[in-house]
Chains A and B, each alone.
Chain A
């Protein structure tokens, strides 16, 4: 019999989550380089994310980060904490604040991931995320669904049953 696949372990005991548990508290720096890399990686070449003149002509204070870069970055603290990234089965947010990124230097995004609810029937947890720049929220109602052990999804499917 072949060995069972080993999903990567994180630092959290997913069998013992409680509402209110803080799963991750992380700081993510963003600079112009990060916006350029994300533009290349995502294919979003909107010039408001790299050209100050264009951004200002569009009524912005200057170059701002892609909302999707903020969203993609904000989940990574949780991804690291749970180990197996495929445990995140849903993720949604509203974009409530711009993230201006100066031409030199960097800005810091502060992200906290907290267990908001546990759904025993589906064996999932809702994780609420806050993401702030200088104390101002840039994401609203940011939430991820985490598959918990025994849910029948992910790599344990078929071994233990639901």
Chain B
């Protein structure tokens, strides 16, 4: 039996997720894992000398928080996404300001679209990250291809 992504999920916005505090240790680990060279990712003194409160994240760092937030939808059996058939199609990051260790970010998930094409389905999500005052910090868009039979 193969489920297919339920198109009625398109347009759905979920309630905001709990606040997430950006970790200096995870920023450093992520920078090392991707080969991001700047000391601003690992050295708080260098980051402060550059005008930041603490170490800054590399551009794709928010993927972890975004994917944790996307799980509300992707792992929902009602959504009809068979994860064994999922291939990552696209990813896009928009950073309105640098992401800094200590930032408290509130993620909100929206399912932007659920489309079918060529026997496959494509689901696109957007996770908006705001600070606790509601100011936009970043947005992460992800498109997953759910392979058909």
A interface residues (Cβ-Cβ under 8 A, vs B): 4-8, 28, 34, 37-38, 40-44, 58, 67-69, 71-73, 75-76, 79-80, 83-86, 88-95, 144, 153, 155
Bound state CA distance, A76 and B46, in angstroms? 18
A92 touches B50 (CB 8 A): no
Chain B interface mostly: mixed
Closest to B39 in A: A8
Residues of B within 8 A of A28 (CB): 35
Closest to A141 in B: B90
A8 touches B33 (CB 8 A): no
B36 touches A91 (CB 8 A): no
Bound state CA distance, A93 and B88, in angstroms? 11
Bound state CA distance, A44 and B70, in angstroms? 13
| A/B pair count, beta carbons within 8 Å | 123
Residues of B within 8 A of A68 (CB): 60, 63, 88, 91
B interface residues (Cβ-Cβ under 8 A, vs A): 26, 29-30, 32-41, 46, 48-52, 56, 58-60, 63-64, 67-68, 84, 87-98, 141
A71 touches B91 (CB 8 A): yes
Instruction: Given A38-B33, A72-B34, A85-B41, verify A90-B67 contact (CB < 8 Å).
Output: no
| B48 CB to nearest A CB, Å | 8
Chain A interface mostly: mixed
Residues of B within 8 A of A72 (CB): 30, 33-34, 36, 58-60, 63
Residues of B within 8 A of A85 (CB): 36, 38, 40-41, 56, 58-59
Shortest beta-carbon contacts, A-B, top 3: A5-B51, A92-B92, A72-B34
Bound state CA distance, A37 and B36, in angstroms? 14
Instruction: Given A89-B94, A92-B92, A93-B90, verify A40-B63 contact (CB < 8 Å).
Output: no
B39 touches A95 (CB 8 A): no
